[in-house]
């Protein structure tokens, strides 16, 4: 057994819970918006302060778990001494490594592309109505890109532990 099995199990547990919170939120978004519908000025009406607080909390509830998912994922690889082989896509570690790279891209996409635009769309920072409508398209594509990327990521994550036979 590589690494500390108790630490490994705890990291995996936290990794799963945080990942379900994050990607579950993304999948709910797909259900709410199966097709892109451009925002209208009516959609940007002023909301109550209480609603804005709830909205901010909801968005924080998947942004921060994304960091927990990444850190616990890296932690699991590190405690097994697989980190460099995984990220270098060497040997059988290439399977979980591909998942790790996709996950890293997803976290960067969320924090560097989606969130700066989402802040404007939802009114957390001031922006003109035209700018908010433009940003809504970018946040949609960014979120939907993560939906697409989650499909191979979940495959490689599962296959790395339970399906290595597929790669023989």
Partner 1 sequence: MKFKPPHDSAWGAIVCGLVLTAILFQIVRLLVKR
Does 25 interact with partner 1 (rule: CB under 8 A)?
no
Binding partner 1 by CB under 8 A: which of 98, 106, 110, 127? 98
Binding partner 1 by CB under 8 A: which of 16, 36, 51, 64? 36
Q: What residues from 59 to 88 belong to the interface with partner 1 (CB under 8 A)?
A: none
Does 158 interact with partner 1 (rule: CB under 8 A)?
no
Binding partner 1 by CB under 8 A: which of 5, 24, 91, 129? 91
Q: Least Å distance between CB 15 and partner 1?
A: 20
81 contacts 3 by C-beta, under 8 angstroms: yes
Neighbours of 69 (CB within 10 A): 23
Does 111 interact with partner 1 (rule: CB under 8 A)?
no
| Residue count of the chain | 168
Give 52's contacts (C-beta < 8 A, 6+ positions apart). 122, 123, 124
Identity of the residue, 14 or 149, whose beta carbon is nearer to partner 1 in the bound complex: 149
For the CA atoms of the chain, what is the radius of gyration?
A: 18
Look up tokens 């109550």; give the residue. 48
Identity of the residue, 162 or 168, whose beta carbon is nearer to partner 1 in the bound complex: 168
99 contacts 81 by C-beta, under 8 angstroms: no
Helix 49-79 vs helix 5-32: crossing angle, to nearest 10: 140
Identity of the residue, 79 or 145, whose beta carbon is nearer to partner 1 in the bound complex: 145
Q: Least Å distance between CB 153 and partner 1?
A: 9
Q: Classify the phi-psi angles of 17: left when phi > 0, otherwise alpha if psi is within -120 to 50, otherwise beta.
A: alpha
Binding site residues, partner 1, CB under 8 A: 30-31, 34-36, 89-92, 94-95, 98, 102, 141, 144-145, 147-152, 155-156, 166-168
């Amino acid at each position: 057994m590589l690494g500390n099995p108790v630490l490994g199990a705890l990291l995996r547990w936290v990794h799963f819970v945080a990942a379900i919170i994050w990607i579950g939120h993304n999948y709910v978004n797909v259900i709410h918006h199966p097709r892109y519908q451009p925002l209208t000025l009516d959609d940007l009406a002023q909301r109550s302060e209480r609603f804005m607080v709830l909205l901010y909390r909801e968005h924080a509830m998947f942004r921060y778990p994304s960091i927990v998912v990444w850190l616990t994922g890296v932690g699991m690889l590190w405690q097994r001494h697989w980190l460099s082989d995984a990220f270098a896509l060497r040997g059988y570690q290439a399977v979980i490594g591909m998942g790790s790279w996709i996950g890293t891209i997803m976290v960067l996409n969320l924090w560097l592309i989606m969130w700066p635009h989402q802040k404007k769309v939802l009114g957390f920072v001031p922006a003109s109505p035209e700018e908010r409508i433009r940003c809504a398209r970018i946040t949609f594509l960014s979120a939907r890109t993560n939906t697409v990327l989650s499909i191979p990521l979940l495959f490689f994550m599962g296959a790395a532990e339970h399906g290595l036979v597929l790669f023989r």
